[in-house]
Amino acid sequence: MENLMEKIVSLAKRRGFIFPSSEIYGGFGSCYDFGPLGVEMKNNIKKSWWKEMTGNHENIVGLDAAILMSPQVWQASGHLTAGFADELVECKKCHHRFRKDFLKENKCSDCGGELTEPKKFNLMMKTFVGSLEDEAVTTYLRAETCQGIYLNFLNVLNSMRLKIPFGIAQIGKAFRNEITPGNFIYRTREFEQMEMQWFCHPKEADKFFDYWKKERMQWYLNLGIKKENLRMVEVSAKERAHYAKRQVDIEYRFPFGWHEIEGVHNRGDWDLSNHSKYSGKNLKYEDYYPYIIETSVGADRSFLTFLVAAFHEVKGGRTKTTEAKKEVEVLLKLHRELAPVKVAVLPLIKNKPELVKKAKEVYQMLKPYFTCQYDELGSIGRRYRRQDEIGTLWTITTDFDTLKYDTVTVRNRDTMSQERVKISDLVKVIDKKLRE
């Protein structure tokens, strides 16, 4: 299973999905950069989530709040005090640091050394705002994006003339000084969250909690995640986040075990009442504090989920053409909404200028509509393999019939079946397939 993660990490780097950050300097603190295909796929995930929230549901509007906020926000939210700290232990021998709850035994998992007593370690990342160092304000990079939503609760309510219940959706960066980041992009110190906060009457909170739990599970299923690899776990009072009255974690079965990918929380009136208290502004709706049901997922963590779920190795190879046949071929079965490249255009052979010219014309025609690649290097079988490995949905080939009839072959990634389509119909045909 470890081996499987290694293969996925290696594919991600080799094919331009994810690179280690600051690599030429030896990397930096579990930070990662999304490459040309990675950024397309991550944008597709964010687009799908955004459409799900603001398009497929009633009464949800968007927001894009600043990362930097008044430091008082984090006093009020409880992140500087209450629960936003992990227990850190250090090995007395090799000085490696660990999150206590991640260790299976009371010994260092790296060298077996004795551990120090646990210390509380706050995860907020400090920063300074202002040009004069001694007058600069100390604040924090946001540890969750939703605080910007609570601060704008009245602005959004009034400017959009909304009534409760309604939701605010936001996507953006968050930062946590994690003690033990790891498992590739599963736990990092800089990540993106996709959060939706649903404001409702306290009496309706349980009903909406159940509703959002189901909706969120369905999103993963709709995007091709198998039911048997997903589960919901109700989190006990002792384990819950400091703001949560109720918490359900959606977990995915990764090669390294079952782990949380999304949290659905009933935050009660924790946030609005505390911000009212600390700011002196009345954040009540009519005469009560609305309860907040939150759905919160990492864009990076769901990226890893979709990548792991899509990764397939086909033993013995799929193509039967001799030059392309390999022991194992990789097929990335990404959902059509998420695949970073929708179509690739290939001339059947490179040394026929007419076929190359036609293929380039087709590529130029499709490019404004779909993410598209052009590839003429290597045998046709090999080029199909290269596209399967990055999850390209359809591979279009110009061949000798193209010159006679102005048609091309369209090959389906998963079935490898091919159909002939008139060049003049291609945009319409691909567009239709994308919506099927």
* 197 near ligand GAP, judged by CB under 6 A: no
User: Does 142 participate in binding ligand GAP (rule CB under 6 A)?
Assistant: no
- In 3-state terms, what secondary structure has residue 29? coil
Query: Which of 331, 336, 332, 310 lies closest to 436 in space, CA to CA?
Result: 336
* Cβ closest to ligand GAP, residue 146 vs residue 307: 146
Give the residue with the Cβ less far from ligand GAP, 176 or 411. Answer: 176
Judged by CB under 6 A, does residue 191 bind ligand GAP? yes
CB of 193: closest distance to ligand GAP in angstroms?
5
**Closer of 268 and 347 to ligand GAP (Cβ):** 268
CA dist., res. 144 & res. 235, Å (int)? 19
x/- map, 93-132, ligand GAP, by CB under 6 A: ----------------------------------------
Which of 42, 176, 275, 413 is the binder for ligand GAP (CB under 6 A)?
176
CA angle 222, 227, 228 (to 5 degrees): 160
Contact between 86 and ligand GAP by CB under 6 A: the answer reads no
Do the bridges between strand 125-129 and strand 137-141 make them parallel or antiparallel, or are there none, so unpaired? Answer: antiparallel
Report if residue 297 touches ligand GAP, rule: CB under 6 A. Answer: yes
Q: Which residues pair with 254 in a beta bridge?
A: 257
Q: Using the minimum distance from each CB to ligand GAP, give the nearer residue, 112 or 182.
A: 182
293 binds ligand GAP (CB under 6 A): no
Return the residue of 195, 271, 329, 375 that touches ligand GAP, per CB under 6 A. 195
CA gap 147, 296 in Å, rounded? 12
Q: Would you count residue 246 as binding ligand GAP (CB under 6 A)?
A: no
Q: Under the criterion CB under 6 A, does residue 260 sit at the interface with ligand GAP?
A: yes
Find the binder of ligand GAP among 15, 42, 187, 358 (CB under 6 A): 187
Query: Can you tell me the distance from the alpha carbon of 181 to that of 325, in angstroms, rounded to the nearest whole number?
Result: 39
Assess 77 for contact with ligand GAP (CB under 6 A). Answer: no
Q: Which of 262/329 has CB closer to ligand GAP?
A: 262
Q: Residue 296, interface with ligand GAP (CB under 6 A)?
A: yes
- Closest Cα to residue 412, out of 391, 398, 426? 391
Provide long-range contacts, Cβ within 8 A and 24+ apart, for 418-424.
423/362, 423/365
Stretch in the footprint of ligand GAP (CB under 6 A) among 211-219, 254-262, 354-362, 389-397: 254-262
Parallel, antiparallel or unpaired: strands 166-175 and 137-141 = unpaired
Distances from the Cα of 83 to the Cα of 79, 121, 151, 360, angstroms? 7, 10, 21, 58
Nearer to ligand GAP, 188 or 398 (CB): 188
Task: Report if residue 223 touches ligand GAP, rule: CB under 6 A.
Answer: no
Phi and psi torsions of 196, nearest 5°: -125, 130
Pick one of 52, 144, 271, 329: the residue that binds ligand GAP (CB under 6 A). 144
For residue 210, the tally of other CB atoms under 10 A from its CB is 13
Of the candidate spans 16-24, 256-264, 334-342, 398-406, the one that interacts with ligand GAP by CB under 6 A turns out to be 256-264
DSSP secondary structure string for all residues of 112-176? --BBPPPEEEE-PEEEEESSSGGGPEEEEE-SSTHHHHHHTHHHHHHHTT--SSEEEEEEEEEE-
Q: Which stretch binds ligand GAP (CB under 6 A): 161-169, 184-192, 208-216, 221-229?
A: 184-192
- The DSSP call for residue 37 is H
**Closest CB to ligand GAP: residue number:** 298
| Burial group, residue 415, by CB count within 10 angstroms (0-12, 13-18, 19+) | exposed
Stretch that binds ligand GAP, among 66-74, 204-212, 257-265, 316-324 (CB under 6 A): 257-265
Question: Counting contacts by CB under 6 A, is residue 375 touching ligand GAP?
Answer: no
Is residue 146 at the binding interface for ligand GAP, with CB under 6 A as the rule? Answer: yes
In angstroms, what CA-CA distances link 320 with 347, 348, 385, 414? Answer: 19, 16, 12, 15
User: If you write DSSP's letter for every residue of 305-348 in order, what string do you get?
Assistant: HHHHHHEEEEET-S---TTT--SEEEEE---TTT-S--EEEEES
Query: If binding is defined by CB under 6 A, does position 261 make contact with ligand GAP?
Result: yes
Q: Residue 298 interacts with ligand GAP (CB under 6 A)?
A: yes
E strand or H helix that includes residue 52: none
| Residue numbers at the binding site for ligand GAP (CB under 6 A) | 144, 146, 176, 178, 187-188, 191, 193, 195, 260-263, 294, 296-298, 300-301
